[in-house]
Amino acid sequence: MFAIPNTSRNVLYRSLVSESRRRILQVPRALLSSLPQKKPQNQCPVQDPTPPTYSASVSLDGPSSNDKEEHLRPPIRQAGKPAFKVNPVGSELAHLLGENHHDEAALMKGLMVDPSCEQSLSALQENDIHLRHPKLEYLLKLDKLWLRDACTCERCVNPSSHQKRFSTSDIPNDLPINYVKHCTDGFFEISWKHDFLTGGSHITRLSADRVYNSYFRGEYLEPFHTQAPKIAWNGVKLRTSSVFHDYKCFMDGGPQYVDAIERLDAYGIIFLRNVPYSEESVEHISKMLGIAQETFFGKTWDVISKPDPESIAYTSDYLGLHQDMIYLDHPPKIQVLHCLENSCEGGESMFSDGLQAAREFQKERWHTKILERFRVKYEYRSGGHTYATSRPVLPDFDYRMRNDQDGFSCQDNGERVLLPFWSPPFQSSDQYIPAGAERELRHWKHAAHEFKALLEDGKNVFEYKMKPGECVVFDNLRVLHGRRQFNSSSGKRWLRGMYVEGNSFKSKLQSLASRRQAQLAGHDSSLSR
């Protein structure tokens, strides 16, 4: 026997959890039929009202009971009968979980404090507080440490910054309680005796959906933006999807804006129409998505043919499918391209879903491993700027964890597929071949050739000649883009571009999700934060 170091154990734990998140719990339709349905909003002319359907995923695995970091996860523990038998299929808990977040929260309102906890102070001195649900046979047990740490009152969390005023490690082991009760507004209330912050009594209030979010949805590991399902597409599917939106409706920040952002997250691409002819329009659009990611090209840049270009994008040549700036350690997440003029012959834009190609390749090709293992060197050397890095075409989970990169992307069928890195125009001519692995490049070339064929397959490519007043917004780390050659003497082609930083876009998704949940639940978002 040998001991596994904590760091290795944590990596193993994360790997197991990532695998467990593939299991999706589905609720019977009959159970949801009694829930109120959301009324459709008034629609703008070019807007399809149907948003993508999101499913909830449940993390099933956790660290062993002797793990020193066990307290970081609110545990579901056993006493007498086992607590919840959380199985991927057929568990009692599965009958409480809905396909939409507001359905789940509504169903979880049935959680009640077990009468024994309210009536017996001796029961409160144990490590757990018991909750019950009329449709569950067993009790749900909440650890008092987690309950005290979860308090969001003004004494514990700054109401302006929403940042904690204490450290979890400050909470004492002994947590005596005065009482615990279930309030008529659906909240649980716990009164702590001799609290470590106040010195006297202290009250914590928690909503049922907060309990649900922390215990069943696994938000401590996976925030909203990675839980929302991604919809893989080919050219035909994208043409029949409602990815075109009206600029004014988008900029108003109302329901159509929320729907557009959700579709951008799901499909990785949207188009805006009726965008004003102005060099500032691309900045106005980008502000609705997050914070600008300025590069050595500047805050904004123009895609236009010019002599002595510093990038192949600034020519009239054919530009194959690629991702921008993957020679950086942290490439831009979102790209915004506003078409100001496009009167020349040719110049059609091309888009291909890297998620779709990666899924097809990983399912059918035996040599996927070479694209996961072989690191391709990318570089940029021009105008006094030198950037270089190396990464695999299909980075595996370990690579993503080590390099803090976006990796797994939830499919519409619940699968996890790795997103690719692909940018042939920026591949270095000096690829590193380790000693003893001289044939690696040849093996990689064979696999890369097949992967490129998938990306460029006519059925997978969405080809579209953008018109003045249209803007495309896409996920640069998922959707590959390119263009056909154009004749610069026959007219003018002018696109103005801008990048949006990834973390700020994820923050936007989270904020919009919280706002939508609050509206559907009928209370302010601060109550379930």
The CATH code of the domain that includes 319 is 3.60.130.10
CA distances from 308 to 82, 241, 314, 325 (A): 71, 40, 9, 20
- The answer to whether residue 2 is domain-embedded is no
With CA atoms as reference, report the closest residue to 414 among 14, 32, 91, 22.
Answer: 22
- The answer to whether residue 13 is domain-embedded is no
Does residue 206 sit in the same domain as residue 125?
A: yes
- The answer to whether residue 297 is domain-embedded is yes
114-146 pLDDT tens trace: 444 443 333 444 546 766 655 556 666 778 888
Domain boundary at 170, 203, 221, which?
221
Does residue 376 sit in the same domain as residue 486?
A: yes
Type of residue numbered 409: S
Q: Give the whole-number percent of the chain exceeding pLDDT 70.
A: 63
- The answer to whether residue 63 is domain-embedded is yes
Does residue 376 sit in the same domain as residue 243?
A: yes
Q: Which domain CATH number covers 134?
A: 3.30.2020.30
Does residue 260 sit in the same domain as residue 152?
A: no
What are the counts of helices (DSSP H) followed by strands (DSSP E) for the chain? Answer: 17, 22
Residue 407 has pLDDT above 70, yes or no: no
- The answer to whether residue 25 is domain-embedded is no
CA distance 247 to 285: 9
Does residue 283 sit in the same domain as residue 214?
A: no
Does residue 263 sit in the same domain as residue 324?
A: yes
Does residue 249 sit in the same domain as residue 357?
A: yes
- The answer to whether residue 418 is domain-embedded is yes
DSSP, collapsed to helix, strand or coil, labels residue 529 as coil
- The DSSP code for 362 is H
Rg (C-alpha) for the chain, rounded Å, is 26
pTM for the whole thing? 0.66
Domain boundary at 169, 202, 221, which?
221
Residue 343 has pLDDT above 80, yes or no: yes
Q: Where in the sequence is the domain holding 332, given as residue range(s)?
A: 227-511
Q: How many CA atoms lie within 13 A of 101 on its CB side?
A: 20
Does residue 442 sit in the same domain as residue 498?
A: yes
Does residue 194 sit in the same domain as residue 268?
A: no
- The answer to whether residue 528 is domain-embedded is no
Q: Please, which pLDDT band fits residue 197 given cuts at 50, 70 and 90?
A: very high
Does residue 390 sit in the same domain as residue 462?
A: yes
Instruction: Supply the pLDDT for residue 434.
Output: 77
362-402 pLDDT tens trace: 887 778 889 988 999 999 998 899 999 999 999 875 555 55
Does residue 353 sit in the same domain as residue 231?
A: yes
Residue 175 has pLDDT above 90, yes or no: no
72-118 pLDDT tens trace: 333 333 333 333 322 222 233 333 333 333 343 433 444 444 444 44
Domain boundary at 191, 221, 251, which?
221
Average pLDDT, the chain: 73
- The answer to whether residue 320 is domain-embedded is yes
Does residue 145 sit in the same domain as residue 99?
A: yes
14-51 pLDDT tens trace: 444 444 444 333 333 333 344 444 444 445 544 443 33
Q: Is the sign of the CA dihedral 89, 92, 96, 101 positive or negative?
A: negative
Number of domains forming the structure of the chain: 2
